[in-house]
Amino acid sequence: MKCALVTGGSRGIGKAIALTIAKDHGYHILVNYASNQTAADDTVKSIKEAGGSAEAIQFRVEDFEEVQTKLNNWLEKNPQSIIEVIVNNAGITKDGLLMMMEEKDWNSVVDTSLKGMFNVTRTLIQPLLRNRYGRIVNVASLSGLKGVPGQMNYSAAKGGMIAATKALAQEIAKRKITVNAVAPGFIATDMTSELPEEELKHQVPMNRFGEAQEVADLVSFLVSPKAAYITGEVININGGIYS
């Protein structure tokens, strides 16, 4: 059974990605979540209702030992399964100016996006190398490319993710494993629901926020065989706000 792991896959962009790659490629989807089991179960239910296969798997991506324990236990229980797609999507925001930012707000944001990407990818990289095939897609952000005031922690986390994408791509390209990042701008999700959309959309040349499905369709292309010669890239999906 060929599988794809989507971290933070219970809601928003992660949910759209999980549903789309299940439909487009027939992967058994591991829907990772940290605490919201109800949302994760709902994503699994939606995938199954669409004719796909999925299960929820709980772990906090920022905890290396927990990631290893949960994923290695799953691999031991499913010896005939191959996780050949990793989508590092888990992320949180704790916005604030640096002069008022608490250390815990820096650590939690960086640990979830950047350290979480390391923890998950490090745990699963050996099977990918042995299999000599794989797709890794890291969900970064416009903030990681241009920096956003009030989001120094988030910008640092996503900027680090982008640099790590480029480095890892070169390390494992000979094993037919691609590593790419997508960098969404303003996307209509729970994370952006409190932003003043009517005001901010005028900063976007397309004059609208993007949809989670549009990001999911891009990720689906990157995990497909059609993207076999694309690696180490950061693809913007932001309506032209940073082009």
Within a 10 A sphere around the Cβ of 218, how many other Cβ atoms? Answer: 19
Structure tokens that stand for 171 in this block: 């390390």
Q: 40: closest CA among 83, 9, 84?
A: 9
Residue 182 backbone phi and psi in degrees, to 5: -115, 145
Q: Is 242 a catalytic residue?
A: no
Please say whether the dihedral angle defined by the alpha carbons of residues 101, 96, 163 and 89, taken in this order, is positive or negative.
Answer: positive
* Annotated active-site residue in 133, 154, 229, 242: 154
Tell me which residue has tokens 């003043």: 196
Helix axes 12-25, 212-222, angle to 10 degrees: 40
The conformation of residue 96, written as its DSSP 8-state character, comes to B
Helix intervals (H) in 95-210: 103-110, 116-131, 142-146, 152-172, 197-200
Please say whether the dihedral angle defined by the alpha carbons of residues 204, 162, 188 and 94, taken in this order, is positive or negative.
Answer: negative
Structure tokens that stand for 211 in this block: 């949809």
Q: 186: closest CA among 213, 167, 211?
A: 211
Residues annotated as part of the active site:
154
